[in-house]
Structure 1
Amino acid sequence: MISRRNVFKAAAGVAFCSCGLQHAARAQGSASRQPVMVGGRRVKTIDVHAHCVFREALPLVGGNEAAMISRAVRGAEETYIEVGKRFAAMDAQKVDMEVLSINPFWYALERDRAAAIVKLNNEKMAELCAAHPDRFAGFAALTLQAPDLAVQELEMAMRRQGLKGAAIGGSVAGTDFSDPKFHPVWQKAEELGAVLFIHPAGTPQLGQRFAGNGWLANTIGNPLDTTIALSKLIFEGTLDRFPNLKVIAAHGGGFLPSYADRSDHACMVSPANCNPNIQLKKKPSEYLNQLYFDSLIFGAEAIRHLQAQVGASQIVLGSDYPYPWQLKPVDHIFACDSLNDEQKAGVLGGNAARLLNISV
């Protein structure tokens, strides 16, 4: 079993750092960080949507760095964490803790190679978080194309590695999470209380239509991927089968919360396009109230609408760092007049702390 004390001793060199730099970084981060106050009360800010990549995984994908990181995207080089730089960035953002995740790039790989990548990622994530438990928590990687392995990996991550759940894509090489072959993974997640962070990987089936200006494969494709993933979990009855599943959807849940009421009318308008053998226990839109959504939806009006749809208790802080989508995530929440002080404190960290069992 990995103990935080033993891992800290072994953590030199983790995440592109030397041990000396880690100690220096910790002192630097503590000295420069200013507390966030809401209504005169100190709030621990927790960013649930922050990314990292471990260089040690490169040889396992044939040294193909492009398979892990796109140099064409601003901030991508900082996914290789240098702890001092990351702490400085977090301090500038007023973020006390990041819950780190790795976007899955291994779903299309064969079983053994993917399993080796996942094993390395989870070991390195556990080491990094144990070395800096006040600044980092982590989501595990899973070999979801092999659900039997994913069950074992999730149990190891939760019971022995101190991770908070798992980061997953929007599908597994085109296979939706509602497919019964994934049921053992969701059952294990329920049993362990593991949080599943759904981060999209786009919809390559629409690549031809996304071509041209505007980076539409990401701008539209990523939120669409999450929208499809959540809709499948709802309409195929997966959330009825696993009602205690804990899910965070990146980017505010894609397009679904903005147009959820349409889901309530679909099967009434066209029963022929719905499965009579699937009788949902609630209206489709009501399932959103049991999911969590990050705050990476930019404007205060977008937060107001999400809050009206799902409740402020279901919103958690998200930045997508180091990608510069939202470099002032805490200020974004303070600008939301629809949230009272108690709700702002919840979004900034309290909701995530309860969900992920993080001490405040």
Structure 2
Amino acid sequence: MMILKIITVEEHIQFKNITEAIQKQTGNALPSLSSDMLNYMHTSLPSANQMEDTSQARIKFMNQYGIDMQVLSYGNSSPQNLQPALAVELCRQANDQMAAAVASNPTRFAGLATLPVGDPAAAVKELERAINKLGLKGVELKGNFDNRFFDDPMFFPIFEKAAELDAPIYFHPSFIPSSITDHYFNSPNWSDVATGILSSAGFGWHMDIGIQIMRMVVSGIFDKLPSLTLVSGHWGEFIPMFFERLDEELTPYSNLKHPFSYYYRHNIYLTPSGMFTKPQLDLVKTEMGADHIIYSVDYPYKQPTNTNSFLTQSGLSNDEIELISHQNAEQVFHLDEN
């Protein structure tokens, strides 16, 4: 039997003091959510202990399913999208605590930074500190800030600094505006909780972050920053299914140097986020290649029992398993560097 080394890269943590500070300022640890979303989240969220734990249930899960390392990033109560007056200091605190969590068990954990994106100059400064002084391995960006997608020129300095530092940026879904929820997902034909599911983990936030990364490509950012690396979960949030369609329709009308799919296949890595399903794996492997797939569980939001067996029972070659289970993560997140 093949002995796997497994590194997973979309694994979440939160810190009590950050959550409490957000709660104090906004009245809710999950800001700007509609009542239907709050209903859904309150029935599906892991406990605070699970989110904050780095030594008991988390390690037990990792050991049970053969996970050698988790790359930690901030969970749903991230301070990233708060207004800068609060976000700058809370992101700094979150990164300090992330670095401390990693230092508590450096062979089992690495970490990604949280940035106060509403103040790009402060975000650039914090990114540099997080990578060069704290030893974090990249950045997680959640959703969008103040209804601005990240292709907005306002945010370009963040990506420019990330490219300079060779720091990968993981794009993670977050809650979509209530107007979008109402337009696409609300109906008297189903419950508020069903609306919450459809607008979030069921479909909506995947659609939203897929559009986010699609916009990044079409903006031409990879022509400006050809070394920039992005990571997208949930098998690419629908986009790989449309590579050929986007190339055919968009190429004659864009100012890009290459077809849409070229940038995806060169600058973007995809992860399953615990969606261990063979049809999606087969599609992404065909479109991207095993050398652009990185493993992820989405712990503790998801705790799939086939975390280990999915790799060995999906028809992958030994070389493909090694790439997906740890080699791609080590390369992209520089996990072999102290």
TM-score (norm 2): 0.86
Alpha-carbon distance in structure 1 between the residues aligned to 2:68 and 2:80: 32
Unaligned runs of 5+ in 2: 32-37
SS in 2 for 1:143: coil
2:118 to 137, 145, 148: 145
Structure 1 residues 217 and 76: alpha-carbon distance in aligned structure 2, compared to 1, 3 A threshold? farther
Residue type matched to 1:280 in 2? L
**Structure-1 residue corresponding to 2:55:** 83
Q: CA, structure 1 residues 79+178, in 2 after alignment: closer, same or farther (shift >3 Å)? A: same
Contact 2:250–2:260, Cα closer than 8 Å, also in 1: no
| Aligned equivalent of 2:318, options 325, 336, 341 | 341
Contact 1:260 1:285 in 2 (8 A): yes
Whether the 8 Å contact between 1:103 and 1:168 is mirrored in structure 2 is no
Match of 1:92 among 57, 64, 70: 64
Residues 226 and 254 of structure 1 are in contact (CA less than 8 Å); yes or no, is this contact kept in structure 2? yes
Cross-structure match for 1:182: 155
1:70-149 superposed matches below 5 A: 70-77=41-48, 78-103=50-75, 105-149=78-122
Give the corresponding residue for 2:261: 285
Distance change >3 Å, CA 225–CA 326, structure 1 → 2: farther
Deviations 1:190-248 (A, max 9, x none): 11111101101143242113234271012111211221111101111112111111111
Distance of 1:168 and 1:103 partners within structure 2: 11
Deviations 1:172-203 (A, max 9, x none): 22211111111111110011111101101143
In structure 1, C-alpha distance between the alignment counterparts of 2:238 and 2:250, rounded to whole Å = 19
- Checking the alignment, whether the CA contact within 8 Å between 2:80 and 2:91 is kept in structure 1 is no
- Residue aligned with 1:263, SS: helix
The question of whether the paired residues in 2 share the 8 Å contact of 1:103 and 1:167 is answered with no
CA distance in 2, matches of 1:108, 1:289: 29
Deviations 1:133-184 (A, max 9, x none): 0111000000011110110010001100010011002322221111111111
* Number of the residue aligned with 2:35: none
Task: Give the residue type in structure 2 aligned to 1:328.
Answer: N
For residue 336 of structure 1, report the CA deviation from its aligned partner: 1.4
Matching residue within 57, 60, 82 for 2:21: 60
Does residue 170 (structure 1) correspond to residue 146 (structure 2)? The answer is no
Deviates more, 1:108-117 or 1:124-133: 108-117
Partner of 1:257: 240
Match of 1:167, SS?
Answer: strand
- Are the aligned partners of 1:330 and 1:348 in contact in 2 as well (CA < 8 Å)? no
Whether the 8 Å CA contact 1:47–1:318 is kept in 2: the answer is yes
**1:282, 1:54 → 2: CA distance?**
42
Computed over aligned residues only, the root mean square deviation of the Cα atoms, in angstroms, reads 2.1
State how far apart, in whole Å, the 1-side matches of 2:335 and 2:117 are.
26
Distance in structure 1 (CA, Å) of the matches to 2:75 and 2:45: 16
Q: Is the 8 A contact 1:60 1:116 kept in 2?
A: no
Q: Contact 1:51 / 1:102 at 8 angstroms: preserved in 2? A: yes
Which of these residues, 185, 188, 199, is aligned with residue 210 of structure 1?
185
SS in 1 for 2:67: coil
Cα deviation code 1:298-333 (max 9, x no counterpart):
311210110000110000011111012634322222
Identity, % of aligned pairs?
27
| Shift in CA distance, 323/103, structure 1 to aligned 2, threshold 3 Å | closer
Q: Structure 1 length normalisation: TM-score?
A: 0.81
8 Å contact from structure 2 (residues 81, 116) kept in 1: no
Q: Which structure is larger by alpha-carbon Rg, 1 or 2? A: 1
Counterpart position of 1:299 = 277
Shift of 1:50: 0.5
Q: Deviations over 1:111-143 (max 9, x none)?
A: 121112101110000001011101110000000
Q: CA separation in 2, counterparts of 1:327 and 1:129?
A: 25
Q: Deviation of residue 45 (structure 1)?
A: 0.9
Residue in structure 2 matched with residue 11 of structure 1 by the alignment: none
Q: Is 212-221 or 100-109 further displaced after alignment? A: 100-109
CA apart distance, 1:265: 2.4
Tell me which of 321, 324, 347 is aligned to 2:299.
Answer: 321
- Could you tell me which residue of structure 2 aligns to residue 248 of structure 1? 231
SS state at 1:358 partner: coil
Tell me which amino acid in the other structure corresponds to 1:210.
F
Aligned length: 313
Compute the displacement of 1:90 (Å): 1.2
